[in-house]
Structure 1
Amino acid sequence: MVQLPSVTPAGTPPAGAPDPRLLPDHPPRAGAHPLSGSAQSLARLALVLALAGLGIWVLHHFIPALVWAVILAIALGPLYARAERRWPPGRHNLLLPLLFTAAVALVFLIPLVVLGVQAAREAHDVVAWARSFEKSGIPVPDFLGHLPFGAAQAQAWWAENLSHPAAGSELLHRFDNSSVIGVTRSLGAQIVRRVVLFGFTLVALFFLFRDGRAVAAQVLAASAKLFGPRGERVARQMVASVHGTVDGLVLVGLGEGVLLGIVYYFAGVPHPVLLGALTAVAAMIPFGAPLVFGIAAAILLANGAVVPAVVVVAAGFVVTFVADHFVRPALIGGTTRLPFLWVLLGILGGVETFGLLGLFLGPAVMAALILLWRDFTQGEAVEGPRA
């Protein structure tokens, strides 16, 4: 019996031959060895760190603007969500975030414009006063004679150094023109830089309003993948601390400004509304309000109103003491269960390290650290010591 040769279907390899479909498209060249799994993980980690560092280096001048935009978006998030629910469906993609961004810009720009207009009005009087000071000196003010102690010494020093024309001319000529020009250029450069950063903050804030939900979901997903469920808790704790800090700093500062503005009005301080607004801004920084109501008291003293000046100082210290030691820690710490000491250290340390951004970053960092510490210690307490 003759055995016929087996016929192999087209595309099927003969018996014993490797399947070409399982072979790589481009076989490795001689000497090429693929990395192991751990080596690939290290390489990916190094690449991610290098790209992250390069991105931070590229954006490092604009990081403050981005952080301010994030803080403003978190602070205004609940208000924006309520407006979004009441807005006609399908029409809030551009118009609503644009309106909120414009409102934020006006909140910051209107006080600056008012201050600029007021400064321009007072500039003529300042120039006239400087010319009068150079020609005839400054007469001894009346309030020096009403000081409770050191009145004679203060009057003698003023008469010797500021009252005669030669003293005024000598004092004004101490200012070198080159140094004044240098200070003016530096100040102008800083103003331009702040304006540019403010513009980028508004642009970033617009996109955070528009795409805030997607960004928040991505941040929570990334924190959960990197750190597990605890990462999401830390992120939510930091967001809650920003909300508490806004309530504790901004709202309490506005309250201090209103109360002390009323005191300025009844005490006879010039421009009580303007000084009240400055007090509100300064009061957002812990222990910053005394600088403004101290200036108000000095103005009253210069006009010979000693008793109203004492009233302004006393009322200012009472209001700021209650606000800084009771109301503000309760609002900030109550949201995140943060003790008063850590609230105070977070605010002051944040301001020293990051400037005004530290008002919000400091408490947020402290809230995250306290949360991790509580999780760590409570976990140990639950597990107990091992036998």
Structure 2
Amino acid sequence: MSPQRKLELERLFIAALALVISAIFFWMIRDYLAALFLAAVLTIFLQKPQTWLTDKFGGRPGLAAGLLVTGSVLALVIPIGFLLGVIAEQAIEVTGLVAPWVQEQVTAIREEGLDGLPEWLPFREAIIEYQATVAAQLGNLAGTVGNILVSSLRAGTGGILIGTLNFFILIYALFFFLLKGRDMSRSAITLVPMMEKDRRMLAERAISTIRATVKGSFLIAIVQGSLTGLGLFVAGVPGAIFWGAIATLLSIIPMVGPPLIWIPAAIWLFLSGQTVPAIGLAAWGGIFISWSDNILRPILVGKDAKMSDLMVLISTLGGLTLFGAVGIILGPVIAALFSSVWFIFREAFAGLLEVDEEEEFEQQLKDAKDPPDEPTPGM
């Protein structure tokens, strides 16, 4: 076997071994990948303050990193913990209101039937015909509302250990990345077998997309959640803070979230006889809440991420489905890398993929004017 062939086989074996070991390693730490990813995202935003504080402290990066980590924990954990307490309290209140209300409607349906439904209601006759089934299903819903809450609390309690470990890993990884993140990223990117300009472009697209997604999506979520909670509070909907928090979470999904909260709330107000608050809430949601998404998202997300609204939407939804909560950021990053990789592919194979359209068009004109001579019969 020639030395060149032996070298190629050795490189192939090393590459395969690296991929297998890496796959096993990532599978082993899969429960903590989200914490590591979030630490890396926070590092991107804290890198400039880290450099500034290091200079101010006379070249002591450890002190600067420790101060930034402590400040980040105090700035995020305390307000979020307080807000979660209020949300949990209102969640219990909402659950206590929803179950009796549904049971009351079920009882009314069983006693009076559905003949009192308004004439304009779609599928009114079909609903009346199947009123027994409707009543039974509403009864089941009322019976399971409490069970859903209890099951959610149990699931959250069961994940306390993993959550605690993830929190400490997040804190330590953030401190470590602030100290060593730049050197690690430079070393990691050199492992990508591409030209320097292509590697740099991939890294810049990933970082710019992360910045755009975090700044844009989360700012939009806070704005829309606040507007939704304010509208519900003014309209007199119980648990406005709780529903506003739910709208904040749903707002991360482009063009979908808050209407899932304020539209049913407006319908509930209308069916409860509160016509003016229902109309006001619907107008508030349709004008201010929805348009805030239409105005802010293209400016904050699509522009910096250099992706269309459609790409942002499908990548966010796909990321949520595949990776969970961190997919909100990871989905658009993968979409940005997808478009960048195909741009690099086009550049690498430009000579094979591109056709001189002008020359092709002139050749077609020439063939049309001077068709090839047909063979004479008998020759």
Q: Same fold (TM over 0.5)?
A: yes
Preserved contact between residue 225 and residue 247 of structure 2 (Cα < 8 Å): yes
Q: Is it true that 1:92 corresponds to 2:55 in the alignment?
A: no
Q: Which residue of 2 aligns with 1:150?
A: 121
5+ long unaligned stretches in structure 1 = 1-34
In the other structure, the counterpart of 2:212 is 244
Instruction: Name the amino acid aligned to 2:177.
Output: G
Deviates more, 1:95-104 or 1:214-223: 95-104
The answer for the alignment partner of 2:81 in structure 1 is 109
How far 1:62 moved relative to its partner? 2.8
Compare 201-210 and 87-96 and name the one that shifted more. 87-96
Provide the rounded CA distance (Å) in 2 between the counterparts of 1:300 and 1:174. Answer: 19
Aligned to 1:254: 222
Indicate if the aligned counterparts of 1:329 and 1:343 stay in contact, CA closer than 8 A. Answer: no
Question: Residues 23-53 of structure 1: CA distance to partner in whole angstroms, max 9, x if unpaired?
Answer: xxxxxxxxxxxx9433433333333223212
Counterpart position of 2:341: 372
The CA deviation string for residues 52-89 of structure 1, in whole angstroms up to 9 with x for no partner, is 12212212233333333333443x43575488469755
Counterpart AA for 1:68: L
Would the aligned equivalents of 1:260 and 1:316 in 2 still touch at CA under 8 Å?
Answer: yes
Identity rate, percent: 22
Please say if residues 248 and 328 of structure 1, whose CA atoms lie closer than 8 Å, have aligned partners that are also in contact: yes
Query: What is the DSSP-based 3-state SS (H/G/I as helix, E as strand, rest coil) of the residue aligned with 1:61?
Result: helix
Show CA shifts across 1:311-357 (max 9, x none): 32243233454344442133212113223332222223222332332
Answering whether residue 184 of structure 2 is matched by residue 215 of structure 1, we say no
CA distance 1:302–1:150, shift in 2 (3 Å)? closer
- TM-score (normalizing by structure 1): 0.70
Change (3 A) 1:145 1:223: same
Cα distance in structure 2, aligned partners of 1:72 and 1:344? 23
Aligned counterpart in structure 2 of residue 300 of structure 1, from 260, 269, 275 = 269
Structure 1 residue 38 corresponds to structure 2 residue 4: no
**Distance verdict in 2 for CA 1:257–1:172, change over 3 Å:** closer
In structure 1, how many angstroms separate the alpha carbons of the residues matched to 2:228 and 2:105? Answer: 36
- Structure 1 residue 185: Cα displacement: 8.0
1:226 aligns with 192
Is the Cα contact below 8 Å between 1:134 and 1:172 reproduced in 2?
no
Q: Counterparts in 2 of 1:293-372, with a 5 A limit?
A: 293-372=262-341
1:264–1:312 Cα contact (<8 Å) kept: yes
Higher helix share: 2
Aligned residue among 273, 285, 310 for 2:253: 285
TM-score (norm 2): 0.71
Shift of 1:385: 6.7
Instruction: For residue 243 of structure 1, report the CA deviation from its aligned partner.
Output: 0.9
Q: 1:189 to 1:120 in 2, by over 3 A?
A: closer
Structure ID, larger Rg:
1
CA distance in 2, matches of 1:223, 1:94: 27
- The answer on whether the counterparts of 1:101 and 1:205 sit within 8 Å (CA) in structure 2 is no
Partners of 1:115 and 1:139 in 2: how far apart? Answer: 34
SS at match of 1:150: coil
| Aligned match of 1:206 | 171
Cα displacement string for residues 106-164 of structure 1 (whole angstroms, at most 9, x for unaligned residues) = 3443332112223445666678x3898599768999xx97957139959x959x769xx
Instruction: Indicate how the Cα distance of structure 1 residues 296 and 88 shifts in structure 2: closer, same or farther if over 3 A, else same.
Output: farther
**For residues 79 and 296 of structure 1, what CA distance do their matches in structure 2 show?**
44
Q: Which runs of 4+ in 1 moved over 4 A?
A: 85-90, 120-127, 130-141, 144-148, 151-154, 172-176, 183-186, 378-387
Distance 1:212 1:139 in 2: 62
The range that moved more, 47-56 or 249-258, is: 47-56
From the superposition, tell whether residues 295 and 380 of structure 1 become closer, same or farther in structure 2 (CA, over 3 Å). same
- Given the superposition, is the C-alpha separation of residues 278 and 87 from structure 1 closer, same or farther in structure 2, using an over 3 Å criterion? farther
Match of 2:33 in 1: 63
* 1:191 is aligned to 2:153: no
Are 2:232 and 2:281, in contact at CA under 8 Å, matched by a contact in 1? yes
Q: Deviations over 1:338-379 (max 9, x none)?
A: 233322222232223323322211211111122233344356
DSSP 3-state at the match of 1:255? helix
**8 Å contact from structure 1 (residues 241, 367) kept in 2:** yes
Q: Secondary structure at the match of 1:269?
A: coil
Find the residue that maps to 1:98 and give its secondary structure: helix
Q: CA shift at 1:187, angstroms?
A: 3.8
**Greater shift in the superposed pair: 263-272 or 335-344:** 263-272
Contact 2:319/2:331, CA 8 A, preserved across alignment: yes
Q: CA RMSD in A?
A: 4.5
Q: Aligned pair in 2 of structure 1 residues 194, 334: CA closer, same or farther (>3 Å)?
A: farther
**C-alpha distance in structure 1 between counterparts of 2:105 and 2:274, whole Å:** 27
